[in-house]
Chains A and B, each alone.
Chain A
Amino acid sequence: MTNSWTDIKNTDLVVVMGGNAAEAHPCGFKWVTEAKANRGAKLIVVDPRFTRTASVADYYAPIRQGTDIAFLLGVINYCIRNDKVQWEYVKNFTNAAFVVKEGFGWQDGLFTGYDEQKRDYNRSTWDYEIGPDGFAVVDETLQNPRCVWNLLKSHVSLYTPELVERICGTPKDKFLTIARMISECSSPVKTMTSMYALGWTQHSKGSQNIRSMAMLQLILGNIGVRGGGMNALRGHSNIQGLTDIGLMSNLIPGYLTIPTEREPSFDAYMSTRGFKPLRPNQMSYWQNYRKFFVSFQKAMWGDAATPENSFAYDWLPKLDVPAYDVLRAFELMHQGKMNGYFCQGFNPLLSFPNRKKITSALSKLKFLVVMDPLQTETARFWENHGANNDVDPSKIQTEVIELPTTCFAEDEGSLTNSGRWLQWHWPGGSPPGEAKTDAWIMAQIHLRLKELYRKEGGKVPEPIVNLDWRYKDPHEPTAEELAKELNGYVVSDVPDPSDPTKTLLTKGKQVVSFAALRDDGSTACGCWIYSGCFNEAGNNMARRDTSDPDDTGAYLKWSWSWPVNRRILYNRASSDLQGKPWDESRKLLWWDGAKWTGYDVPDIAPTAKPDTVMPFIMNPEGTSRLFTRAMMRDGPFPSHYEPFESPVVNVVAPKVRGNPVARVFRNDFEQFGDAKEFPYAATSYRLTEHFHFWTKHAHANAVLQPEFFVEISEELAKEKGIEKGGTVRVWSKRGSVTAKAVVTKRIKPLTCDGKTVHIVGIPLHWGFTGAARKGFGPNSLTPFVGDANIETPEYKAFLVDIEPVAGPVA
């Protein structure tokens, strides 16, 4: 989230698309209710199903899953055509005026530079024209036909209300009502918030779904203001933290990146990470990259990371592919190229697409280690459970080691919520049986490996034996010790440049924030964006002061939020070019003549002049981006693509299947179905009574929603002769499941390009362990393909067929 849950109360309009907050995030959704009750805010829901969020909406419109980009570009087109633009914001705070290189264009659904063989673009034309002064060329009059604004205007002109209806199945009048409601938020005194979740991410173009809305929010001037923002509701309780700390193939904590093999030396690595400003006087804060990186290396390898060995640069792995994401990992496993796998609190047998492939991949491993508080299906993938897990254990040679871990109630530490608040928690109960904390288990693995390398030698032992592990009890680092490392500390004294008798930084002290980090090895910091969470003032994440001056919803003294306790990102954009709030009744940060002041920690240098330094300090432009240059693989603007399995042909680009640059492994292409064979558009979703595959282990939740079902419309039920509560078989090109049929009015057939499209809803909470009845999940059916930029699997749009079958004998 750019903002926070409690900030939603400040909004005038809530748009829920790609999420269902009333069911999936009920206690956060209360802030929508607050905004409705106290500000007269309106709620719009656009979803294939009439969800519980829709049931309390002021306006609902249906949409076919996988067509959100067409809808949103349609809204942008509407705003531009009707002059519903926050012009001062767009001209100054976005890259609308930047001039794009000659040669860039878009035709037949593809941007310039497409290579069909490689399924990739040569993105060299997707960039700004650079002037003789070394800065990007801009045309503040927006007259240049190649400026971002004019390119955008032309790019979205295709998406008329009529085309939106053809693609999305959203009736034109409903689309126009919503476009009108949204466009009113272009007023500087009206804000809109976007609340979205996996309904937008789980598509082969998920990143561009989100970008489309982010662009719309910029055009309306809704980023950096109270009640505005792009608010990813997010899933698990610490999904934000795990992402921030970079537990991903290609990440270093704080969104730094793991080197590739094209960067053989630290100098080569840094040569593409200079982040030179693209406009005069801009902060381009990533210019501090080297300080964050060196401090991270010091946190990893302590005294062994020295200037002489380039701070142990060689000890980081160098990637040969963009990332070994989970889809690639399971593809390699399936090819027999992986031997070992660890699942820490993760249940891939039910979480990853094409379950048949997942089972087959796990069966080829030599060993699988599962660390979990609950008995997961993954740990038992080899166990026969009849139709629910039809395998022959004697044919599976994988050795499986299951380790019992503590759960939240038995562990101490911080979790980062979707609003970026790091909240500390304390244990309340003793672990059951022999369960141990994950930190203890990781320490044991590390200490044993280190011991083996010391005793036996082996390949490149240095990064393991030199890992900085100076904890009071090396067998179990405490949460406080680890949090202090994340915050960062001073490795060696740094003299004060103005008075050499004093020290600027004193060895052994916690750094106050990332502003103190250095690139010479004198500071260490595990995760620069978390710096400030546990400094010399103490554990800021444990703060519990509920004061909130003027009821802005900021709660600056409750827990701690990254970065530097800032609650609303880009908050300098809440004021105009003179530093005066756009909306006096909802002011957030303003210029007092000498410095920035307000209700939040300024997201700008405190004395940076308002008409000189622009608000988007992380970007070399100083502005936000309506055009992303070459930063995304599938285009500098979003463009409508159908899901890989779609009931209709892409009317914008009939020749293009799916996202043209999404990575598809060869065998998976053969496993895509088409609409002739599989006529119905399926989607997956969650229920309010369940959380993924955990709550089926909790008695109360297992009672509340005991059994796997699929949800279909009355029309489809009639057409197929399916009875309410009857049993159905649903199958795709990859698998088949049986389920109870829930026939509802919540789903209605859509008409897309003259064709009737029926939707099948498939919730995801059942498996073969726990207290609920045994069942299946959507992953038995879904395709093995991910988003082109970040490989999130396409769970929300795929094709199935359905038929009634005889139910189980009572």
Chain B
Amino acid sequence: MEVFLQQLINGITLGSIYGLIAIGYTMVFGIIGMVNFSHGDVFMTSAFFALIFLLVLTTVFGMSSMILALIIVLIIAMVLTSLLSWAIERIAYRPLRGSFRLAPLISAIGMSIVLSNFVQVAQGPRNKPIPPMFTGGFEVMNANNFAVTLSYKQLMIWVVTAVLLAAFWYIVQKTPLGRAQRACEQDRKMAALLGVNVDRTISLTFVMGAALAAVAGTLYLSYYGVVNFSDGFVPGVKAFTAAVLGGIGSLPGAVIGGLLIGLIETFWSGYFSIDYKDVAAFSILAIVLIFMPQGLLGRPEVEKV
């Protein structure tokens, strides 16, 4: 029971991070039907933005309030990562839109290689540890000498994720931008004929996905306290798994999928073996795709004859 509760807490935390990344995958896939392979590395780069500005704020400016520093870092990381994603879309994907189907995928894989190697070259190949930001937490339960704790970090991750998801939900559901997005998703040509600026809408989709990935990146850095140039791939693939599990194209699906993947991973590590936790995640991806390719909340694809 104690282990269960602790893993539940850990799983939700990890799942929040996956969910935030997964939204970027699901939105881009929904609107242009492309697996944005570089999204995991965009997430990794955002963690580096966060790392750099955190260091600047604490060591150069000597800022002492961790909360304030984190808020500033979060905003900077979101802005810069959005810019990065916008630039990538502009340079590597837009010229290929509407051409050969594999071309954007290869371009995205290339971009993913570029990003991780660029960060390696620019920032060095070593792990980048930061001093722990928030220590301590609430002791939720204590039985048989096993303390179930909800750390402040975890609580912060829950709160930030919930607040930003709510804001994001509002944008997608209630604003003209969200409406344009949904229109482009349904029929890009028709949307363009009706005066929707399709290029701009697609760019903004990339930007929104990247902003949420930046939130995930910042939270990831503060949670694990370390980041490396190669940290984009595995969380990226897991977040994509989450998006597929939830039903690709569905926003609530991405969040639910993210939480599920996080929970599966932590429970697997907690109860079985930590060695095979990634095997578990990938197996779930394969099983879900094979038996219910539409995911939990996705629409089934009807084969048109």
- State yes or no: do A and B come from one complex: no
